[in-house]
């Protein structure tokens, strides 16, 4: 699997950031074919049966039944349900409502505010800002309203967290575009936590933060320019985002790459040359006319962009592991202050990793995302990486995978005893939940 084996930044990042990029781009593994919703509903039910849930609770801290943080009130029973069509573990429920992007002294909040500053100082009529929209959205909002095709891989239970067949944890802030356009907003920024089932490594975490920007033009904006609406919007978009990149990164080299998103045409990615690498900064484009038409903006043209805040914050603040954003250790939190973009993080220690390998015969419904969910359910943030190190099929057609799990705490040394216990539980639960045969 491309991501876990190499730490190639751009490959690793692009998977998490722009998963709606092209259909199939996220079905990156030869061994985890994309599933239809119904097929994975069944596989996730076997992955999370009630007995398993009970058993796994032993290994977790007790979970509060209602989260009430940052103005968001969400009951556990509204989100985590023991039903085949629900694939949300407690580890994800505890992240709802934490809202790192609303903490002014947290790198994610500092970056959000720096982007706000750029828009506030460059646009007289300010962009409307939303950073408290509920992450629980309908399938319609998350996918249909932004024209994601019915068979797109991102809709699968393997990739998205479903509360029930009609309700998901948003997997991108684009989920709010259509409703805000329908409400009449013409310039807006939406920041929020987004959720994706994924593999495990230093740049992937099942919860991260995005910012979405949209600007609508009316005919008198472009008529005098001699350009058509689309060309005018595309030019304005590029100018705006190049300015944003300079605001955040200084005088960097940039390039535009043509790409595909379901909700824009034409679509682009902006890359900057930073620390000797091309870094993908964001995805954007001219909004599909169908989205504008449905929202009562038939005569208008608009642009939109979406960017991943962790990805940019890791580079700007030199944060080496995405788990650190969730750390409550003072040695992390005390290093950042309001308004200070790009203060370099000083690692307070590097504790040794401990590697454990496990091999098993997979079955048809096996996916790496399901495996990673089980491992995270037991080891939480102590798991640093899960990496496929061997893969073969025998004469009988049975396929074996060997995974190497790296355990490492950001905050302390782990004892052998603790790791052995974790690994023992991982083996037991991987076997019982994923119905694979350990070797």
Only one of the segments 17-25, 72-80, 248-256, 384-392 lies at the binding site for ligand DAH (rule: CB under 6 A); that segment is: 17-25
The rounded distance, in Å, linking the Cα atoms of 417 and 355 is 14
Q: Which is nearer to ligand DAH, 211 or 248 (CB)?
A: 211
The rounded distance, in Å, linking the Cα atoms of 435 and 141 is 34
Q: Which is nearer to ligand DAH, 150 or 224 (CB)?
A: 150
Only one of the segments 14-22, 273-281, 293-301, 355-363 lies at the binding site for ligand DAH (rule: CB under 6 A); that segment is: 14-22
Instruction: State which of residues 3, 4, 18, 244 lies at the interface with ligand DAH (CB under 6 A).
Output: 18
CB 308 within 8 A of CB 13: yes
CB of 175 to ligand DAH, least distance (A): 9
Helix (H) or strand (E) run with residue 3 in it? helix 2-5
CB 170 within 8 A of CB 72: no
CB of 270 to ligand DAH, least distance (A): 11
Q: Which is nearer to ligand DAH, 59 or 116 (CB)?
A: 116
Sign of CA dihedral 340, 342, 344, 350: positive
Q: Which two tokens stand for residue 330?
A: 């003072």
Only one of the segments 71-79, 87-95, 179-187, 281-289 lies at the binding site for ligand DAH (rule: CB under 6 A); that segment is: 281-289
Number of shown-chain residues binding ligand DAH (CB under 6 A): 16
Instruction: State which of residues 86, 94, 160, 264 lies at the interface with ligand DAH (CB under 6 A).
Output: 264
CB of 84 to ligand DAH, least distance (A): 27
Binding to ligand DAH (CB under 6 A) within 284-313 occurs at 284-285, 304-306
Distance of CA 12 to the CA centre of its chain: 12
Only one of the segments 46-54, 178-186, 257-265, 365-373 lies at the binding site for ligand DAH (rule: CB under 6 A); that segment is: 257-265
CB of 15 to ligand DAH, least distance (A): 10
Beta bridge partners of 273: 253, 278
Residue 166 CB neighbours (<10 A)? 10
Largest Cα separation within the chain, whole Å, is: 72
Backbone angles phi, psi at 433, to 5 degrees: -85, -35
DSSP tag of 127: P
CB 233 within 8 A of CB 303: yes
CB of 16 to ligand DAH, least distance (A): 9
CB of 256 to ligand DAH, least distance (A): 13
Instruction: State which of residues 35, 217, 232, 261 lies at the interface with ligand DAH (CB under 6 A).
Output: 261
Backbone angles phi, psi at 46, to 5 degrees: -70, -25
Sign of CA dihedral 229, 190, 24, 255: positive
Instruction: State which of residues 12, 13, 14, 19 lies at the interface with ligand DAH (CB under 6 A).
Output: 19
The rounded distance, in Å, linking the Cα atoms of 49 and 377 is 14
CB of 241 to ligand DAH, least distance (A): 11
Only one of the segments 280-288, 348-356, 375-383, 423-431 lies at the binding site for ligand DAH (rule: CB under 6 A); that segment is: 280-288
Q: Which is nearer to ligand DAH, 303 or 317 (CB)?
A: 303
Q: Which is nearer to ligand DAH, 171 or 358 (CB)?
A: 171
CB of 151 to ligand DAH, least distance (A): 18
Beta bridge partners of 172: none
Q: Between helices 416-434 and 37-47, what is the axis angle to 10°? A: 130
Sign of CA dihedral 420, 433, 17, 101: negative
Q: One symbol per residue from 198 to 227: x for binding ligand DAH (CB under 6 A), - otherwise; what is it?
A: --------------x---------------
CB of 132 to ligand DAH, least distance (A): 19
Binding to ligand DAH (CB under 6 A) within 164-203 occurs at 172, 174
Q: Report the residue closest to ligand DAH, judged by CB.
A: 306
Only one of the segments 70-78, 277-285, 349-357, 402-410 lies at the binding site for ligand DAH (rule: CB under 6 A); that segment is: 277-285
Q: What is the dihedral of CA 7, 191, 318, 6, to 10 degrees?
A: 0
User: Is residue 319 a contact residue for ligand DAH (CB under 6 A)?
Assistant: no
Helix (H) or strand (E) run with residue 30 in it? none
Q: Between helices 9-17 and 309-316, what is the axis angle to 10°? A: 150
Q: Which is nearer to ligand DAH, 305 or 332 (CB)?
A: 305
Q: Which of 133, 125, 222, 124 is nearest to 180 (CA)?
A: 133
Residues 6+ apart with CB under 8 A from 114: 247, 248, 341
Residues lying near ligand DAH in the complex (CB under 6 A) are found at: 17-20, 172, 174, 212, 261, 263-264, 283-285, 304-306
């Amino acid at each position: 699997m491309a991501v876990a084996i190499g730490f190639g930044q751009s490959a690793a990042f692009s998977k998490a950031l722009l998963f709606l990029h092209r259909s199939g781009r996220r079905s990156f593994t030869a061994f985890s074919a994309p599933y239809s919703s119904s097929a994975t509903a069944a596989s996730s039910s076997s992955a999370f049966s009630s007995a398993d849930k009970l058993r796994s609770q032993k290994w977790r801290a007790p979970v509060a039944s209602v989260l009430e943080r940052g103005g968001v009130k969400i009951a556990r029973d509204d989100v985590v349900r023991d039903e085949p069509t629900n694939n949300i573990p407690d580890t994800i429920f505890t992240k709802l409502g934490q809202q790192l992007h609303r903490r002014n002294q947290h790198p994610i909040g500092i970056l959000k505010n720096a982007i706000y500053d750029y828009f506030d100082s460059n646009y007289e009529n300010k962009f409307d800002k939303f950073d408290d929209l509920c992450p629980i959205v309908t399938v319609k909002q998350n996918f249909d309203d932004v024209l994601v095709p019915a068979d797109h891989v991102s809709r699968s239970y393997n990739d998205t967290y479903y509360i029930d067949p009609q309700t998901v944890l948003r997997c991108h802030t684009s989920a709010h575009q259509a409703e805000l356009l329908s409400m009449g907003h013409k310039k807006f920024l939406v920041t929020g936590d987004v959720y994706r089932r994924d593999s495990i490594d230093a740049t992937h975490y099942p919860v991260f933060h995005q910012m979405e920007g949209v600007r609508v033009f009316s005919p008198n904006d472009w008529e005098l320019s001699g350009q058509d609406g689309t060309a005018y919007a595309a030019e304005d978009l590029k100018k705006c985002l190049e300015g944003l990149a300079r605001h955040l990164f200084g005088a960097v080299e940039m390039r535009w790459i043509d790409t595909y998103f379901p909700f824009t045409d034409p679509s682009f990615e902006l890359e900057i040359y930073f620390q000797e690498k091309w870094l993908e900064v964001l995805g954007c484009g001219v909004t599909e006319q169908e989205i504008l038409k449905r929202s009562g903006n038939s005569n208008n043209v608009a642009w939109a962009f979406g960017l991943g805040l962790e990805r940019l914050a890791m580079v700007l603040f030199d944060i080496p592991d995405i788990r650190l954003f969730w750390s409550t250790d003072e040695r992390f939190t005390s290093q950042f202050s309001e308004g200070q973009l790009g203060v370099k993080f000083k690692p307070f220690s590097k504790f040794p990793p401990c590697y454990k390998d496990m091999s098993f015969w997979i079955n048809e419904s096996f996916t790496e995302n399901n495996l990673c969910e089980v491992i995270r359910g037991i080891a939480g943030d102590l798991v640093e990486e899960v990496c496929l190190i061997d893969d073969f099929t025998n004469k009988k057609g049975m396929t074996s995978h060997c995974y190497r799990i790296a355990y490492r705490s950001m905050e302390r040394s782990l004892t052998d005893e603790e790791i052995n216990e974790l690994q023992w539980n991982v083996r037991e639960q991987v076997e019982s939940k994923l119905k694979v045969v350990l070797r």
